Amino acid sequence: MDLTFTPAEDAFRAESRAWLEANVPHGLRSGDTRDGFAAHLEWERALHEARFAVVSWPDEYGGRGATPMEWLIFEEEYYRAGGPQRVTQNGIFLLAPTVFEFGTKEQQDRILPRMAAAEDLWCQGWSEPNAGSDLAAIQSKAVRDEASGGWRLSGQKTWTTRGAFCTHLFGLFRSDPEAERHRGLTYFLVPLDAPGVTVRGFGRLDGDEGFAEVFLDDVFVPDADVLGAVHEGWGVAMVTTSSERGLTLRSPGRFTATAARLIDLWRERADPDEARLRDAVTRASIDAEAYRWQTFLTVTRMTAGEQLGPESSLTKVFWSDLDVRMHETALELLGVDAERDDTGWMKGYQFALSGPIYAGTNEIQRNLIAERVLGLPRR
């Protein structure tokens, strides 16, 4: 792994930093509220106009053709400048890599430019009432409609992040009820304004309203909106989950920026002779840097043609635990002032608590690590 940035990468960092420092908005409401979501969209459309929304995508789809390393550089500069969490992330960071790998040229041309421009807004339809992290247990079904050239979808998706504000959903449906758990699944793309779709929003622990239940009652989806091969959706979905857990959902720039804020907070609030919190801040900073270098290694491997595998579960457990620890340390530094904090630490802590749950619970990830990375037997 070559850790020396090239002149082109240094120039890209300088261009990104200058634009972000001049344009990043501050003080936006949470993107998981309806008003906040609208404000975030305005920001993300400005990103698109400046061709910073999807820097690693080809020019024809709104990107710059940036290398994976340049994407990491942009992410570092984005969070360094205080950029807000992307409300389009489920489409851009999760679905798009899957469309690039499995989508037809027609699907890529139709879906990707509108996604990059924040015109079509995608949410993830994985979880169901009886199938959260156990994705293979989904029960929502797809029945072939040969006469119409498509499928009829029925069932319920839940815990759908920003589902109440999005326009489209991607998800798995059981297309062969006789097949084994991981087989007979098909990956569908569903417009949320299709007849038979009902979206019902509901609130989260922190008071934001960004979750939704999505009910599908005999919803027709044409063959053109099947992503990948029929009955082989599990393999398609693994590309999405590997991207989610291992690289794109939580880039290291987010954590190195939080670690830098934590150090500033320690300097403001801590007794320099108190060892425990000093050590906690030091460990957080080291772990954020370790995650950064590990991600550089991942990008190096991908650039060499390797694919993300089950080891992405290690990454997901690491960053989600790190996020909780950093925010717990910040609240300790704030003491009683944490209750009335308006600088983002309390809000960030409430969100960090969900990290070990979403994108597949850490308990499930540890099982995957044990079985598929370490080769330990199933109990």
> Using one digit for the tens of pLDDT, what is the confidence trace for 294-335?
888 888 887 887 877 778 888 889 999 999 999 999 999 999
Confidence of residue 247 (pLDDT cuts 50, 70, 90): low
If one compares 180 and 266, the residue with the highest pLDDT of the two is: 266
144 strand-pairing partners: 151
- Residue 129 C-beta-side C-alpha neighbours within 13 Å: 6
The reply to whether 244 belongs to the active site is yes
- Residue 244 reports pLDDT greater than 70: no
Mark out the alpha helices in the chain (DSSP H runs). 7-23, 34-49, 68-80, 89, 96-102, 105-116, 233-246, 252-269, 275-303, 312-334, 345-352, 362-368
User: 244, 328, 332, 363: which one is catalytic?
Assistant: 244
User: CA-based angle 291:315:205, to the nearest 5?
Assistant: 100
Burial (CB count within 10 angstroms: exposed 0-12, middle 13-18, buried 19+), residue 146: exposed
Q: Which two tokens stand for residue 178?
A: 């006789």
If one compares 364 and 222, the residue with the highest pLDDT of the two is: 222
Average pLDDT value for residue range 21-45: 93
If one compares 136 and 374, the residue with the highest pLDDT of the two is: 374
If one compares 365 and 151, the residue with the highest pLDDT of the two is: 151
Average pLDDT value for residue range 335-344: 87
- Residue 122 reports pLDDT greater than 80: yes
Confidence of residue 133 (pLDDT cuts 50, 70, 90): low
Average pLDDT value for residue range 175-204: 92
- Residue 1 reports pLDDT greater than 70: no
Sign of CA dihedral 75, 78, 82, 86: negative
Burial (CB count within 10 angstroms: exposed 0-12, middle 13-18, buried 19+), residue 374: exposed
- pTM of the predicted model, to two decimals? 0.84
